[in-house]
Structure 1
Amino acid sequence: MRRGGGGGGGHGGGIDDEDRVAHAQIPTSFGPELRACLRCRLVKTYDQFRENGCENCPFLEMDRENDSVVNCTTPNFTGFIPGCYTLAVSEELPEEYQGICQENNVMYVPPKRP
């Protein structure tokens, strides 16, 4: 599994931040095949995560590693808000993937426990 953005920061090739923004897909159905990203709470179908990954968390490489879709998403979530994000997930991102977030300087907030 590749871990991170490889090399340097800054802007290469004259691409500005607006060109780098990926627009998240709208779920193609709203049945039991929906899953939520455990880090950003984006909701899409399993197949959409497998084919295109998570637009907000490309460093989790869900489009390259099928196990990442299972490990980094959950079918157990509560409600929706506009843009197809869930209000809450009930599972934590596995420690390995929490480490990937940390390596990429991306904040991860685990779900609150009752």
Structure 2
Amino acid sequence: MVPLGAESMADETTAVVPHGDRRLRACMWVRDGNENVPFLLSPNEREIVFEVTSPNFDGLVAMMKPDESWVARWQGITAFVPGCYALRVRGTLPEQHRQTLEENGARYHNLDDTSAMRPE
């Protein structure tokens, strides 16, 4: 049996899937460190990381090869970098960070659909 990804390990970083979700935070736009939007947050800027992430999320998809994955096509994330993505995140990205996304040509998709589920 060949370890997952062994055929290309020489030129790729080793993928690590999280053990549990107790200390994880989901990006209200994408994910920690975020190679998808490096202008928005950096892991070294702890205060900003807490502003644009939420500990309240549901579901987790691990994408190793998004360009080949049917799940990535289904979620609309084939252009994203490999990583773990939350399926639903509760929380809203602050306006200043939404503006930063727009100024850099990235579209903000609110991942919090709980307001649509609340009775009025």
TM-score range, shorter chain: 0.5 to 0.7
Deviations 1:5-34 (A, max 9, x none): xxxxxxxxxxxxxxxxxx8x6454323111
In 2, Cα distance between equivalents of 1:82 and 1:74: 18
Give the superposition deviation at 1:74: 0.7
Give the superposition deviation at 1:57: 1.8
The percent identity for this pair of structures is 33
1:57 maps to 37
2:19 maps to 29
98-107 or 53-62: bigger deviation? 53-62
- TM-score (structure 2 length as normaliser): 0.58
Task: Give the AA of the match of 1:92.
Answer: T
Mapped pair 1:101 → 2:101:
yes
User: Retained in 1: the 8 A contact 2:17–2:62?
Assistant: no
Unmatched tracts of structure 2, length 5 or more: 1-12, 64-83
Unmatched tracts of structure 1, length 5 or more: 1-22, 43-48
How large is the Cα RMSD of the aligned pairs? 2.0
- TM-score (structure 1 length as normaliser): 0.61
Residue 102 and residue 71 in structure 1: after superposition, are their counterparts in 2 closer, same or farther (change >3 A)?
Answer: same
4+ aligned runs moved over 3 Å, structure 1? 25-29
- May I ask how many residue pairs the two structures share in their alignment? 81
